[in-house]
A and B are shown apart, each in its own frame.
Chain A
Amino acid sequence: MNKDILICGVGGQGTVLASKIIAASAMDEGNTVHSAETIGMAQRGGSVTSHVRIGEDAYSPLIPYGNADMILAFEPAEALRNLKYLSEDGVAIVNTVPTKPVTESLTETGYDGRKITAYLKDKCSCVFVDSDEVCAPFKSSKFFNIILLGIASGTGKLGIDKDTILKQIEKRVPAKFVETNKEAFITGYGIGEKSE
Chain B
Amino acid sequence: MKEYVMGNGAIALGALTAGVNLVAGYPGTPSSEIIETVSKYPHEGIHLEWSVNEKAALEVAAAASYSGARSLVTMKQVGLNVASDPLMSLAYVGVKGGMVIVSADDPGPISSQTEQDTRRFADFCRIPVFDPSSPEEAYEMIQDAFDYSEKYSTPVLFRPTTRVCHAYASIEIPDEYSPREFEGFVKDSRKWVIFPRLSYNNHGMIEKRNVEIGKDFSAYKFNSHNAKKTSKAIVTSGISYSYVKEVLKTYEDVRIIRVATAYPFPEDFMKDSLEGVKEVLCIEELSPYIEEQILKTAGKFHIDIEVKGKLDGTVPHNGEMSTELASRIISEYLGADLVSKVADTDDAPELPLRPPVLCAGCPHRASFYAVKQATKGKKAFYCGDIGCYTLGNAMPLDMVDTCLCMGAGITMAQGFDHTHDDSYSFAFVGDSTFFASGMTGVVNAVYNEADMILCVLDNSTTAMTGHQPHPGTGRNMMGDIVDKVDIARILEAMGVVRVVTVDPLDLELSIRTVKECMEIKGVKAIIFKSPCIAITRPEKKCGVDTEKCINCKKCIREIGCPALITADGQVTIDTNLCTGCNLCAQICPVHAIGGGSHE
| Minimum C-beta distance from A43 to chain B (A) | 6
Q: Does A139 contact B (CB under 8 A)?
A: no
- In the complex formed, the residue of B with least CB distance to A39 is B166
A165 to B577, CA, bound (A): 31
Residues of B within 8 A of A176 (CB): none
10 contacts between A and B (CB under 8 A): A36-B168, A41-B110, A59-B249, A61-B163, A61-B166, A65-B340, A66-B341, A66-B342, A80-B349, A84-B342
Q: Does A5 contact B (CB under 8 A)?
A: no
Please determine whether A45 and B343 come into contact, CB atoms closer than 8 angstroms: no
Residues of B within 8 A of A46 (CB): 354, 356
Looking at A32, A84, A103, A115, the one whose CB has the most chain B CB atoms below 10 A away is A103
- Among B50-58, B67-75, B178-186, B558-566, the one that faces the other chain is B558-566
Q: Does B243 contact A (CB under 8 A)?
A: yes
A27 to B163, CA, bound (A): 21
Please determine whether B343 and A83 come into contact, CB atoms closer than 8 angstroms: yes
A36 to B169, CA, bound (A): 9
Q: Mark B122-152, 1 if CB is under 8 A from A, else 0.
A: 0000000000001000000000000000000
Q: Does B29 contact A (CB under 8 A)?
A: yes
A178 to B152, CA, bound (A): 55
Among A33, A65, A106, point to the contact of B395 (Cβ < 8 A). Answer: A106
Please determine whether A60 and B246 come into contact, CB atoms closer than 8 angstroms: yes
| Minimum C-beta distance from B165 to chain A (A) | 9
Residues of B within 8 A of A116 (CB): 348-349, 351
Residues of B within 8 A of A44 (CB): 359, 577
Q: Chain B residues in contact with chain A, CB under 8 A?
A: 4, 29-30, 110-111, 134, 162-164, 166-170, 239, 242-243, 245-246, 249, 322-324, 327, 340-343, 345, 348-349, 351-357, 359-360, 395-396, 556-557, 560, 562, 564-566, 577
**CB neighbors of B among A14-46 (8 A):** 23-24, 27, 32-46
| Minimum C-beta distance from B6 to chain A (A) | 8
A81 to B354, CA, bound (A): 12
- In the complex formed, the residue of A with least CB distance to B565 is A105
Also in contact, A101 and B348, with CB within 8 A (given A40-B110, A60-B246, A124-B343): no
Please determine whether A24 and B166 come into contact, CB atoms closer than 8 angstroms: no
Among A39, A67, A119, point to the contact of B348 (Cβ < 8 A). Answer: A119
Residues of B within 8 A of A119 (CB): 348-349
Please determine whether B323 and A60 come into contact, CB atoms closer than 8 angstroms: yes
A10 to B322, CA, bound (A): 23
Residues of B within 8 A of A33 (CB): 4, 168-170
Q: Does A177 contact B (CB under 8 A)?
A: no
Q: Mark A69-94, 1 if CB is under 8 A from B, else 0.
A: 00000000100110110101000000
Also in contact, A83 and B345, with CB within 8 A (given A62-B163, A111-B352): yes
Among B168, B345, B564, B565, point to the contact of A23 (Cβ < 8 A). Answer: B168
Q: Does A102 contact B (CB under 8 A)?
A: yes
Residues of B within 8 A of A65 (CB): 323-324, 340, 342
Residues of B within 8 A of A109 (CB): 352
Please determine whether A35 and B168 come into contact, CB atoms closer than 8 angstroms: yes
A174 to B40, CA, bound (A): 20
A119 to B347, CA, bound (A): 9
Please determine whether B323 and A36 come into contact, CB atoms closer than 8 angstroms: no
A61 to B352, CA, bound (A): 27
Residues of A within 8 A of B166 (CB): 36-39, 61
| Minimum C-beta distance from B111 to chain A (A) | 4
A100 to B29, CA, bound (A): 27
| Minimum C-beta distance from A75 to chain B (A) | 10
Please determine whether A23 and B349 come into contact, CB atoms closer than 8 angstroms: no
**Interface residues of A: mostly helix, strand, loop or mixed?**
loop
Residues of A within 8 A of B340 (CB): 64-67
Q: Does A164 contact B (CB under 8 A)?
A: no
- In the complex formed, the residue of A with least CB distance to B564 is A105
A80 to B344, CA, bound (A): 11
Residues of B within 8 A of A39 (CB): 29, 166
Q: Does A123 contact B (CB under 8 A)?
A: yes
A100 to B353, CA, bound (A): 9
- In the complex formed, the residue of A with least CB distance to B30 is A40
Looking at B162, B168, B345, the one whose CB has the most chain A CB atoms below 10 A away is B168
Residues of B within 8 A of A88 (CB): 341
Please determine whether B352 and A62 come into contact, CB atoms closer than 8 angstroms: no
**CB neighbors of B among A103-138 (8 A):** 103-106, 109, 111, 115-116, 119, 123-124
Q: Does A187 contact B (CB under 8 A)?
A: no
Q: Does A47 contact B (CB under 8 A)?
A: yes
Please determine whether B357 and A102 come into contact, CB atoms closer than 8 angstroms: yes
A116 to B162, CA, bound (A): 31
Residues of A within 8 A of B239 (CB): 60-61
| Minimum C-beta distance from B304 to chain A (A) | 32
Q: Does A196 contact B (CB under 8 A)?
A: no
Q: Does A57 contact B (CB under 8 A)?
A: yes
Residues of A within 8 A of B566 (CB): 105
Please determine whether A64 and B564 come into contact, CB atoms closer than 8 angstroms: no
Please determine whether B246 and A102 come into contact, CB atoms closer than 8 angstroms: no
- In the complex formed, the residue of B with least CB distance to A100 is B352
Among B29, B249, B360, B395, point to the contact of A40 (Cβ < 8 A). Answer: B29
| Minimum C-beta distance from A32 to chain B (A) | 7
Please determine whether B167 and A36 come into contact, CB atoms closer than 8 angstroms: yes
| Minimum C-beta distance from B428 to chain A (A) | 18
Please determine whether B353 and A101 come into contact, CB atoms closer than 8 angstroms: yes
Please determine whether A40 and B111 come into contact, CB atoms closer than 8 angstroms: yes
Please determine whether B4 and A24 come into contact, CB atoms closer than 8 angstroms: yes
- In the complex formed, the residue of A with least CB distance to B567 is A105
| Minimum C-beta distance from A178 to chain B (A) | 22
A44 to B391, CA, bound (A): 14
Please determine whether A123 and B343 come into contact, CB atoms closer than 8 angstroms: yes
A47 to B354, CA, bound (A): 7
Also in contact, A64 and B345, with CB within 8 A (given A105-B556, A109-B352): no
Among A24, A102, A123, point to the contact of B345 (Cβ < 8 A). Answer: A123
Also in contact, A59 and B565, with CB within 8 A (given A32-B170, A65-B342, A106-B560): no
